[in-house]
Amino acid sequence: MDKFRIIGGRPLKGRVSISGAKNSALPCMAAAILTPEKVTLHNIPYVRDIITQRRLLEDIGATVLTPELRTHQISAAHIEIFEAPYDLVKTMRASVLALGPLLARFGKAKVSLPGGCAIGTRPIDLHLAGFEQLGAEVKLEKGDVVARAPREGRLRGAEINFVKATVTGTENLMMAATLARGRTTLNNAACEPEIVDLAELLNKMGARIRGAGTFSIQIEGVEALGGAEHTIIPDRIETGTFLIAAAITRGDLEIRDCRPEHSSALIAKLREVGVELEELNQSTLRVSGDPELSASDVTTQPHPGFPTDMQAQYMTLMTQAKGRSAIAETVFENRFMHVSELQRMGARINIDGHTATVDGPVQLTGAPVLASDLRASASLVLAGLVAEGETSVRRVYHIDRGYERIEAKLRAVGADIERIRESVTAPLHGQETDAAIA
């Protein structure tokens, strides 16, 4: 397994380009199952989860061509298998996004029930309850979810009220409803930008979706969907990670090819703590200066609130801010795995239930640390960039799941970071010991 070796203390200077959003590319790739025609997706990030999703599509019989690295041409004309096996689902929970499209187009689907993961139990009960409301019969058989459309072979539109916001739950049911008979309304739907991006692709394919990005989404079912071409939105979490990387190293960094409006809660919070952050245009942000940072509390919320996927990275920044900050994690039950590693680097953090309090500023010192999940890994890399001396972050396959060549991007703007291969090849499809999370 690879590790990163980082020598801290170098301010990041220059320009970095943001890649496509993993959490939009994954549902958009699954959406290609809804049609026998070709779906072409541009700006796909070159990350491990995409490789896993591609393998899933090919395993069920779709063909995936990549005329260039970040363009995927998917054709699901000859689907022969209607299931996502455990060995794939256990490495990437987003495989459950195959459920809705398979059920909607073929009337049947079998997907291994994803186990828990590093950050929580991650049930999919809201997905399954929604499919039943669309008329499907859903059973659990030996660890697999087996879903079948009603006898007439087609799902029926319904009014679905989510008891809590679920991103992939909203995506799964939105995709399933595109081919159902009649109208489906999703209430208390998740509002993430990735859901809006998926709805845009589905509508290009001939779906009739209104309200994506709001708490209520209406889908008028159609008989069939066709091919389309679509460019994936930039990754707002990669954007946020580089904003914090620039702030924490007191650098001067331009972050390009991003969508500032997708990160408004984070941008507001960073400005509140004193980060000098400019929007140069609608796709470029700039962080510069060497301001004294002040502590500020944050509570993670579904979009448009402060994103849970930025909680760990923000915590690292707060170790450099003056005062005490309380960071409350309300979305997942166990998303403080980075705390013990940050404490090894000298951070002063206390956990009380779902809230971590951070006292700063402290001078972090480099140490060997262990990545546990995708975003925790990012917080440890950020800590290494500002720590005194050498930090080695082990098990960086976690970070490779959601960040495209992060060490190359950081090195290009002045970071002293290198990847050290600890074995010939890290397991490509994540036969890693920790269950997948994203």
Binder among 66, 77, 78, 123 for ligand EPZ (CB under 6 A): 123
Q: Interface mask (CB under 6 A) for ligand EPZ, residues 92-111, using x and -?
A: -xx-----------------
Q: How far is residue 327's CA from residue 315's CA, in Å, rounded to a whole number? A: 7
Query: How many amino acids of this chain bind ligand EPZ (CB under 6 A)?
Result: 26
- Tokens encoding 365: 């010192």
Minimum distance from residue 198 beta carbon to ligand EPZ (Å): 10
- Tokens encoding 156: 């029926």
Stretch that binds ligand EPZ, among 163-171, 177-185, 241-249, 404-412 (CB under 6 A): 163-171
Cβ-based nearer residue to ligand EPZ, 2 or 373: 373
Cβ-based nearer residue to ligand EPZ, 367 or 438: 438
- Minimal CA–CA distance to 79: which of 43, 103, 48, 115? 103
Stretch that binds ligand EPZ, among 67-75, 119-127, 352-360, 418-426 (CB under 6 A): 119-127
331 binds ligand EPZ (CB under 6 A): yes
309 binds ligand EPZ (CB under 6 A): yes
Minimum distance from residue 211 beta carbon to ligand EPZ (Å): 18
Annotated active-site residue 28? The verdict is no
Cβ-based nearer residue to ligand EPZ, 75 or 166: 166
Q: Helix 99-106 to helix 22-31 angle, to the nearest 10 degrees?
A: 20
Q: How far is residue 137's CA from residue 111's CA, in Å, rounded to a whole number? A: 14
Instruction: Determine which helix (DSSP H) or strand (DSSP E) holds 195, and give its type and residue range.
Output: helix 193-204
Binder among 236, 375, 395, 398 for ligand EPZ (CB under 6 A): 375
Binder among 15, 42, 139, 164 for ligand EPZ (CB under 6 A): 164
437 binds ligand EPZ (CB under 6 A): yes
134 secondary structure, DSSP code: T
Q: Give the DSSP letter string of 17-71.
A: E--B-HHHHHHHHHHGGG-SSEEEEES----HHHHHHHHHHHHTT-EEEEEETTE
Q: Helix 167-177 to helix 22-31 angle, to the nearest 10 degrees?
A: 20
Q: What part of residues 186-215 is at the interface with ligand EPZ (CB under 6 A)?
A: 190
Q: How far is residue 383's CA from residue 83's CA, in Å, rounded to a whole number? A: 41
Binder among 52, 166, 249, 372 for ligand EPZ (CB under 6 A): 166
Q: Given 28, 117, 191, 258, which residue is catalytic?
A: 117
SS (H, E, C) 348-412: EEEEECCEEEEEECCCCECCEEECCCHHHHHHHHHHHHHCECEEEEECCHHHHCCCCCHHHHHHH
CA angle, 435 as apex, 175 and 300 as ends, to 5°? Answer: 65
Q: Interface mask (CB under 6 A) for ligand EPZ, residues 53-92, using x and -?
A: ----------------------------------------
Binder among 234, 240, 360, 402 for ligand EPZ (CB under 6 A): 402
Cis peptide before 304 (omega within 30 of 0): yes
Binding-site ranges for ligand EPZ (CB under 6 A) = 23, 26, 93-94, 120, 122-127, 164, 166-169, 190, 308-309, 331-332, 374-375, 402, 437-438
State the catalytic residues: 117
